[in-house]
Amino acid sequence: MQYGYFDDNAREYVITRPDTPYPWINYLGSEDFFGIFSNTSGGYCFYRDARMLRLTRYRYNNVPTDAGGRYFYLRDSYTGDVWTPSWMPMKSQLDSYECRHGMGYSRISSSRNGLAFSQVSFVPLHDKCEIHKVTITNESNIDKYIDVFSFVEFCLWNANDDMTNFQRNFSIGEVEIECPPHGSSAIYHKTEYRERRNHYAVWGVNVPVNGFDTDRQSFLGLYNGFDSPAAVFNGQAGDSVASGWAPIGSHYIKAKLSAGESKTYVFVLGYCENPEDQKWEAQNKINKKPARDLLEKYNTPEAADKALADLNAYWTNLLGKFTVEADDKKMARMAGVWNQYQCMVTFNMSRSASYFESGIGRGMGFRDSNQDLLGFVHLVPERARARILDIAATQFPDGSAYHQYQPLTKRGNNEIGSGFNDDPLWLICGVAAYIKETGDYGILNENVPFDNNESLADTLFTHLKRSFYFPVTNTGPHGLPLIGRADWNDCLNLNCFSKTPGESFQTTANYESGVAESVLIAAIFLFVGPDFAEICRRTGRNDDAERAERAIAGMTESINKHGWDGSWFLRAFDAYSNKIGSNECEDGKIFIESNGFAVMAGIGIHDGRAVKALDSVKEHLDTKYGIVLLQPAYKNYHIELGEVSSYPPGYKENAGIFCHNNPWVTIAETRLGRGYRAFETYTKICPAYREDDSDLRRTEPYVYAQMVAGKDAIRHGEAKNSWLTGTAAWTFVSISQYILGVRPTFDGLLIDPCIPSDMKGFTVTRHFRGADYHITVDNSAGKEKGIKSITVDGNDYSGNIIPAFGDGKVHKIIVTMG
């Protein structure tokens, strides 16, 4: 069943009933202030860091789900009818309901008993606040007297402490209130401002109010939930002033609406900072200047509308960098809009805050962030550049890396440390993608610290070189790279024999075998290594290039000699040098990762092993909803394999459809020219193709999920962990660069589509190094791969790499397959 539809012209997903199978969320914010916003107005917001600077409280895994947000309560003061137009938290019966999630904004519209409500919520560009513009309209033919109550619950900033340290927290809450008879009204949340904080939150509205509440208990009643706030049912705010306990912000506005009349209010929820010497305007009175400026800026509906229009223009420009037109609307809307949108969200959030990530685990992953970059480097190349330098600064001098770093300090995370031996290679992957996109070799000369230590700084090129040689110099008995704590698969822990509940499978490395090897790392090396050699050559480092090519040849030999199992590629060797991912194993005979990546890297293409490997993947791992990670699922815990065997069969890394690695198979299929199969693997995990199956899938039809339960699970087909996943970047790479086949290379834009024969053609526009490429592909010949002719601006063109024109013009490329 469907719970909504795509409105492609508006770039919106329209949710038509509030009781979606899981809260369907959107992200507000594009720079440093962010909000998570669900289709029933749930969620929270934060400035820069979802753990340390959280403005509003959110209770994960709550009952009922998704309770807590920025709520509006309406009460008809004549009939006493009370309702919440966002459906939650009261689950109000609505005469109409619609939620439109768009690019950085969401709109909720609903009505009940002749009163219409609409709300648009967004974070304006360049300001640290959420705007909620609310309009109520009397659609009946009698006058209405409506009580409007706003509601937010403040978080005491550090979200972890907020949920644990009650002996302190119940005494520290403080607010200030400014609700003058004229002008705007504001509630200030200033907990901890008296001592070490230089920031407070403001919750304002552009009109005078008739009352307010700032103490949760006064507003709700101690034993009431968000669904039955006492103040609202009484039709009277308590004018409560929080003192400790739980500070909230609620405005109370009495609105008289004659028949047909509308009233609009602009609510602003903002983060404000003051320099140390300007913190106070009087004893214990916070300096409200930044808040007043912010409220002043957005004190009319027109100002809010203008900010929303600017935000729309920002997205139109961004998404204009890569557009798709095709008969297959699902593919076109995903590749052209939603997939890129999700990539930007992963850029902003990394893996910190979603409805599955609590915002409290705070790391930016070395591996994750480098891969995410593949999905947004074409959209925000300057920001990708800065991200690369941040990431590289957490690398160790030997080429290994802190597995995660902290977004606020940008320093490596000591708790998790290092030892994920695939990490170094992802830096090469990210930098190569950046250079191919921009042609900016200058980045290689940037001086970047090692281990965040300026005195150890060296060029980014040196960082890449250390990355490249890390797996080469840390090899095991078969000449394959040592796996360390884990490789891409966090849960394949071959040096951590864990028996103690609660201990981390990855960081309790109590068995440093120096033996366990990863075939996947070898394959990743062979995929990114040639780019490193090419970078050496193109920057005049011929000796480095030759030495790198010898290392690549050596690794190719090792994988050829020891990495093949007969019908597919092996996955690894454990601490005893036993095979993993072999037909000889009882469970875990075949894994997806090494097969996808080895073929992506071109291994076995000329001797039939690549075809065999991908056919084996199809035979053993493919399902209706995508390709599972391994088969057969591990039935028992294997201490020598670690977390992978800790999950019940069919979930997560134990034979779940771990969507992140499905596009590796897609890309691998294009290397074999199998366009039909490439597209099939693409569509199976693509959410837009499962829109009408939402009861089973449950997560949003407009974004990828990290995992869909595999065939061994009872809930096969159910998705979890939507939004923050490397799936976003890799599926975008697979569809844009390998299926539609418009791929940045060092020399220019390569055109090499690999599509199903019944796809008759498509058009892609691509901004690339300062020019626009308007590419039309004609496949009336019904091919899967292969180009008969190309014209560029009307002239025949030989070869399929279109140069970087860099002239600010639009170039017309016509590609005929055949």
Please select the residue that binds ligand GLC; options are 49, 215, 640, 643, rule is CB under 6 A.
643
| Three-state SS at 369 | helix
Looking at beta carbons only, is 338 or 426 nearer to ligand GLC? 426
In the window 523-582, what residues touch ligand GLC (CB under 6 A)? none
In the window 286-315, what residues touch ligand GLC (CB under 6 A)? none
Query: Among 49, 162, 372, 490, which one carries the catalytic annotation?
Result: 490
CB of 653 to ligand GLC, least distance (A): 6
CB of 627 to ligand GLC, least distance (A): 14
Please select the residue that binds ligand GLC; options are 468, 488, 591, 773, rule is CB under 6 A.
488
Strand partners, 71: 151
Q: How many CB atoms lie within 10 A of CB 611?
A: 14
State both tokens at 349.
């959030």
Looking at beta carbons only, is 567 or 646 nearer to ligand GLC? 646
CA angle (783 as vertex; 777, 787 as ends), nearest 5: 55
Burial 139-154 (b: 16+ CB within 10 A, else e): beeeebebbbbbbbbb
**Candidates 304-312, 489-497, 558-566, 611-619; binding stretch for ligand GLC (CB under 6 A):** 489-497
Query: Among residues 265, 250, 304, 248, which one has the least CA distance to residue 123?
Result: 304
Cα distances from 645 to residues 416, 546, 611, 648, 715, in angstroms, run 21, 41, 29, 8, 19
403 binding ligand GLC? (CB under 6 A):
no
Helix (H) or strand (E) holding 218: helix 216-220
7 has catalytic annotation: no
CB of 724 to ligand GLC, least distance (A): 8
CB of 482 to ligand GLC, least distance (A): 18
State both tokens at 272.
């404000």
**Candidates 19-27, 179-187, 404-412, 652-660; binding stretch for ligand GLC (CB under 6 A):** 652-660
In the window 354-383, what residues touch ligand GLC (CB under 6 A)? 365, 367-368
- Quick one: DSSP state of residue 739? I
In the window 655-684, what residues touch ligand GLC (CB under 6 A)? 660
Task: Report H helices in 606-706.
Answer: 609-621, 662-671, 675-685, 694-697
Bridge-based pairing state of the strands 33-38 and 96-101 = unpaired
- Quick one: DSSP state of residue 648? P
Number of residues that bind ligand GLC (CB under 6 A): 17
351 binding ligand GLC? (CB under 6 A):
yes
CA distance 486 to 505: 10
CA distance 252 to 147: 7
Q: How many CB atoms lie within 10 A of CB 247?
A: 28
- Please classify residue 284 by burial: count the beta carbons closer than 10 Å to its beta carbon, then call 0-12 exposed, 13-18 middle and 19+ buried: exposed
765 binding ligand GLC? (CB under 6 A):
no
CB of 650 to ligand GLC, least distance (A): 13
Using CA of residue 496, residue 500, residue 503, residue 504, what is the dihedral sign? positive
CB of 606 to ligand GLC, least distance (A): 30
Query: Pattern of binders to ligand GLC over 491-530, x per CB under 6 A?
Result: x-------------xx------------------------
Does residue 75 contact residue 82 with C-beta atoms inside 8 Å? yes
653 binding ligand GLC? (CB under 6 A):
yes
CA distance 720 to 113: 37
CB of 422 to ligand GLC, least distance (A): 8
**Candidates 22-30, 316-324, 488-496, 740-748; binding stretch for ligand GLC (CB under 6 A):** 488-496
Looking at beta carbons only, is 206 or 508 nearer to ligand GLC? 508
State both tokens at 29.
């914010």
Ranked by CB distance to ligand GLC, the top (closest) residue is: 490
Strand partners, 773: 766, 811
Query: Pattern of binders to ligand GLC over 709-728, x per CB under 6 A?
Result: ----------------xx--
What phi, psi does 429 have (nearest 5°)? -60, -45
CB of 654 to ligand GLC, least distance (A): 9
**Candidates 485-493, 508-516, 743-751, 780-788; binding stretch for ligand GLC (CB under 6 A):** 485-493
Kindly list the catalytic residues: 490
Residues near ligand GLC (CB under 6 A): 351, 365, 367-368, 488-491, 505-506, 643, 652-653, 660, 706, 725-726
